């Protein structure tokens, strides 16, 4: 296949795999696509280890890194080194403690929870200051050929530095005005992410958003994201004017994914209607697997979720507890509506093969109906 995306990175098929799991990134590259590593969940030290592993296993193929440049965030940076608990209202902490206790989820041993909170606060996690530290690591790895900015526009200096290093700059967008802003900031590539996507997502669906973004920033290449996991959707994305697709959810049930067993089991059983867009996980609207956590925060007597990143600070130790015991009712993850199609465990290569086979059938069908 030959699209602008394939030409830009010298890849064979226009499929981008976004993942926080390094094995997925490498497997996607080896299947002919482009892997993009989500850096936000790593510390700078962990990120250096992950990227070194990718470089050691990817056989010189290009890959990307995704970071967050939040436009709006709580002012946690000016409170670094303070007691993190003083930033989170007691009512919210009690709400979480009661919810987890009602599901029999034990506390973390010793002072682990306190340490986790202090580490996030001291590092200014969830703020642009933290992202800058991650980028210092990213710029040390020569295999990185794409940096993607999510949930905001990066400073010009970051885009200029990427370009000077021969790295393309991409941006996730959910509205035409976001796309124009990112184009003006120097983006080489836009990712139009629709409402049905997993993770932070807007209100416009992929079907409506993709052609709007394509037209808004032509001739810049646009990828379609959100609700894409099979070949008919790849064909539709190209028909909408995209130069490729960007998928996040579909890798979570592959063998390469590091999704814990309790989550994997719930994802394989979930229908497309089992996701919810909520602020309960990060403080910003995002699509997640419905769970006792999202139900509780959606109840009429629940406190209003905090902002970003304080809601993330509140939820991170809670999910460490939930995942430690595999509390099935509470486990969750960012996940899109495509989860309804993720019904058996696969491999990254198999997902690519299935998508490409169905894509070929879809193209053949279009040719047939056009001739009839
Ligand atoms: C588990 C998971 C984590 C995600 N984390 C991020 C992230 O850190 N940064 C980002 O730009 N997008 C993130 N996303 C969104 C993806 O980049 C992608 O746009 C989205 O998954 C596409 O829609 P799909 O889920 O229908 O494939 C995440 C998605 C998932 C499923």
In short, whether 150's Cβ falls inside 6 Å of ligand 1 is yes
CA-closest candidate to residue 177, choices 196, 199, 204, 159: 204
Q: How far apart are CA 227 and CA 205, in angstroms?
A: 9
pLDDT for 73: 86
In short, whether 309's Cβ falls inside 6 Å of ligand 1 is no
The domains found in the chain, sorted by start residue, are 4-73+126-257+350-371 (3.20.20.70), 77-124+258-325 (no CATH)
Bridge partners, residue 222, by sequence: 190
Q: Do the Cβ atoms of 297 and 305 come closer than 8 Å?
A: yes
pLDDT for 148: 98
In short, whether 192's Cβ falls inside 6 Å of ligand 1 is no
Tell me the best of 197, 285, 312 to mutate to test the pocket of ligand 1, counting ligand atoms within 8 Å of each CB and taking the most. Answer: 197
Helix (H) and strand (E) counts for the chain? 14, 11
Bridge partners, residue 68, by sequence: 150
pLDDT for 354: 98
Half-sphere exposure for 249 (CA within 13 Å, toward CB): 34
Structure-block tokens of residue 175: 């509205």
In short, whether 25's Cβ falls inside 6 Å of ligand 1 is no
Residue-level pLDDT, tens digit, the chain, 372 residues: 999 999 999 999 999 999 999 999 999 999 999 999 999 999 999 999 999 999 999 999 999 999 999 888 888 888 888 888 888 999 999 999 999 999 999 999 999 999 999 999 989 999 999 999 999 999 999 999 999 999 999 999 999 999 999 999 999 999 999 999 999 999 999 999 999 999 999 999 999 999 999 999 999 999 999 999 999 999 999 999 999 999 999 999 999 999 999 999 999 999 999 999 999 999 999 999 999 999 999 999 999 999 999 999 999 999 999 999 999 999 999 999 999 999 999 999 999 999 999 999 999 999 999 987
230 exposure class (CB count in 10 Å sphere: 0-12, 13-18, 19+): buried
Sheet with 286-289, strands from edge to edge, namely 199-200, 286-289, 275-278
Closest CA to ligand 1's atom 5: 199
Helix (H) or strand (E) holding 65: strand 63-68
The CB density around residue 366, as the number of other CB atoms within 10 Å, is: 12
Helix (H) or strand (E) holding 170: strand 168-173
pLDDT for 80: 80
Distance 197 CA to ligand 1 centre (A): 7
In short, whether 248's Cβ falls inside 6 Å of ligand 1 is yes
In short, whether 17's Cβ falls inside 6 Å of ligand 1 is no
In short, whether 16's Cβ falls inside 6 Å of ligand 1 is no
pLDDT for 76: 86
What is the reported pTM?
A: 0.97
Over the Cα atoms of the chain, what is R_g?
20
Distance 90 CA to ligand 1 centre (A): 31
pLDDT for 84: 84
Helix 112-122 to helix 310-325 angle (10° resolution) is 140
pLDDT for 62: 98
Distance 364 CA to ligand 1 centre (A): 30
CA-closest candidate to residue 76, choices 45, 135, 37, 122: 122
Q: Do the Cβ atoms of 291 and 330 come closer than 8 Å?
A: yes
């Amino acid at each position: 296949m030959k699209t602008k995306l394939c030409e830009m990175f010298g890849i064979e098929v226009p499929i981008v795999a976004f993942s926080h799991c390094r094995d997925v990134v490498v497997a996607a590259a080896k299947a002919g696509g482009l892997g993009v590593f989500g850096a936000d969940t790593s510390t700078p030290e962990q990120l250096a280890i992950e990227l070194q592993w990718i470089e050691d296993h990817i056989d010189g193929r290009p890959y990307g890194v995704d970071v967050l440049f939040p436009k709006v965030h709580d002012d946690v940076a000016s409170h670094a080194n303070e007691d993190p608990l003083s930033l989170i209202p007691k009512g919210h902490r009690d709400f979480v403690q009661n919810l987890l206790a009602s599901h029999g989820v034990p506390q973390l041993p010793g002072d682990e929870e306190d340490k986790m909170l202090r580490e996030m606060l001291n590092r200014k996690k969830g703020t642009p200051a933290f992202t800058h530290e991650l980028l210092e690591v990213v710029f040390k790895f020569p295999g990185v050929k794409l940096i993607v900015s999510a949930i905001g526009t990066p400073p010009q200096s970051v885009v200029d530095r990427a370009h000077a290093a021969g790295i393309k700059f991409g941006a996730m967008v959910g509205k035409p005005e976001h796309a124009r802003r990112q184009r003006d900031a120097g983006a080489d590539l836009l990712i139009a992410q629709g409402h049905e996507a997993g993770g932070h997502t807007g209100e416009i669906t992929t079907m409506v958003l993709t052609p709007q973004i394509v037209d808004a920033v032509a001739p810049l290449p646009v990828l379609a994201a959100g609700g894409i996991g099979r070949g008919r959707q790849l064909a539709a994305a190209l028909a909408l004017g995209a130069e490729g697709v960007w998928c996040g959810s579909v890798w979570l049930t592959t063998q390469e994914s590091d999704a814990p067993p309790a989550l994997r089991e719930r994802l394989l059983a979930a229908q497309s209607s089992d996701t919810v867009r909520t602020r309960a996980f990060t403080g910003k609207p995002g699509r997640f697997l419905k769970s006792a956590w999202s139900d509780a925060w959606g109840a009429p007597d629940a406190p209003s979720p905090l902002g970003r990143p304080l809601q993330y600070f509140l939820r991170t130790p809670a999910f460490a507890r939930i995942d430690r015991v595999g509390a099935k009712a509470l486990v969750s993850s960012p996940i899109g509506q495509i989860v309804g199609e993720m019904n058996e465990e696969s491999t990254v290569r198999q997902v690519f093969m299935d998508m490409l086979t169905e894509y070929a059938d879809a193209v053949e069908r279009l040719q047939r109906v056009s001739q009839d």
